[in-house]
Amino acid sequence: MLLLLASLTLILNIAPRVHAASFELAYDDGEFDYGWSDFYPSGAAVRFSPPSQSWRITGIRLHGVCVLRGSQVFYVEIWDSNLNTKYRSVFLLNDVFKNATLDWHTIRLPNVVVTGDFYVVIVPMFTLDGPQLWISVDNDPPVSNNSFIVDLNTHAVLASLNATSRRPGDFMVRVMGEPIPTPPELRLSSISVGEEETTVVFTYPGEVRSVGARLVKLDGSFREQNVTKDGQSLTVRVREEGVLNVFVVTPSYEIIGASVRLETGLRSLYKSLLANYTVLEAGADELRRRLNSLAEENENLRTQVRDSNYAINILQNQVWELIENNTRLEQQVAELNRSIERLRLENDGLRREENVLLILLSVAVAVPLLVFVRKLRVRK
């Protein structure tokens, strides 16, 4: 994935000027104990805390020995407190070291300005059949806990030479420099990753004489990059991976720079995400069409529900009317039942009266008949 490491400001002073008294920052006691070297991309790193917020590095003093064979190079970098590249250069071993001479050697730098803590990184580029650079280590206590073995490509700390490690010590690397006022900063503003290139935008609030950019690739080679200036914005478009260094030359001929590490892994991820996005976008279009269709169906259902509500209201009114009519009919039926009961009672009364009358009538008929029969008997 893409690792974005924005650096703090650095200044390379290319114009002659009067310097304050130079200081030397060091942790070793000046006595060599053993030597260290390793293959690329391993390097020796020493962390320094300058006595002022901003510090101009004018040179590096390195104790060690170099066996010269051919014209091999080695790398020197300055990192900020976040392990971001602030300065990177390549030096010929022949220009710095004397063959097989164990001593202090000076590496001149073009006035690199750092802010806060910083690291000096020396990459010896050890070879088996070519030149060999060994960096001296002082392991006498107290150990400063400021020496590390790092990976130049990933800017990762591989090991620490602190007091609790297997081989504690201090790399015999010193920094010559001086305090300066805090300079203006060139800041990383934004990074936009595209399918074919990465667009990096920096901002610088001050006046500039010229601008430039250089992409340092993982193999140590570099390529100049085009910079587009628009107001305070500086835009660089990069197609490869590596450390992008952007520089601004001020009217006083100071060079202010910042860097960012770019890796193409994110571009591959971007392409993969773009492909997924295309698929998802097609799926989203289909979902939008379905959503529109469902919205239409929903609107139709709303209309149907509204019409159903109207019908329900009508039916409900009819039901209430039927309930009222049923109540009235029940009342009428109850009244009729009461009337029927009255008539039944009256009819029962009439039947009883009728029975009494029949009895009386039978008696009335039977008595004369009995008298008549008796009279006939007397006559006989």
Domain final residue pick, 263, 280, 305: 263
Residue 203 has a CB neighbour count (10 Å cut-off) of 15
Q: Residue holding tokens 């010929």?
A: 92
List, for residues 319-331, the tens digit of each pLDDT value: 888 888 888 888 9
List, for residues 95-106, the tens digit of each pLDDT value: 999 999 999 999
Q: Are residues 302 and 345 in the same domain?
A: yes
Strands 132-138 and 34-36 turn out to be: antiparallel
Number of domains in the chain: 3
ω into residue 131 within 30 of 0, thus cis? no
Q: Is the pLDDT of residue 182 over 50?
A: yes
125: phi > 0 → left, psi -120 to 50 → alpha, else beta; which? left
Q: How far is CA 267 from the centre of its chain?
A: 17
Domain final residue pick, 140, 165, 183: 183
Q: Are residues 175 and 318 in the same domain?
A: no
List, for residues 34-54, the tens digit of each pLDDT value: 999 999 999 999 999 998 888
Q: Which structural domain, as residue segments, surrounds residue 239?
A: 187-263
Cα 10 from Cα 78, distance rounded (Å): 10
**Band of pLDDT at residue 2, cut at 50, 70 and 90:** very low
Q: Are residues 112 and 16 in the same domain?
A: yes
> pTM higher than 0.75, yes or no?
no
Q: Are residues 18 and 95 in the same domain?
A: yes
Strands 34-36 and 222-225 turn out to be: unpaired
Residue 138 CB contacts under 8 Å (≥ 6 apart), including other chains: 27, 28, 29, 30, 31, 32, 33, 169, 170, 172
Q: Is 341 helix (H, G, I), strand (E, B) or coil?
A: helix
Q: What's the N-to-C CA distance of the chain in angstroms?
A: 156
DSSP category for residue 71: S
Asked if residue 15 belongs to a domain, the reply is yes
In 63-115, which ranges are continuous DSSP H helix? 93-96
Strands 222-225 and 147-151 turn out to be: unpaired
ω into residue 41 within 30 of 0, thus cis? yes
Nearest one of 125, 112, 118 to 59, comparing CA atoms: 112
Instruction: Supply the CATH number for residue 228's domain.
Output: 2.60.40.1930
Q: Are residues 201 and 256 in the same domain?
A: yes
Q: Which two tokens stand for residue 332?
A: 């009428």
Query: What average pLDDT does range 345-368 have in this prediction?
Result: 81
Residue 241 CB contacts under 8 Å (≥ 6 apart), including other chains: 217, 218, 262, 263, 264
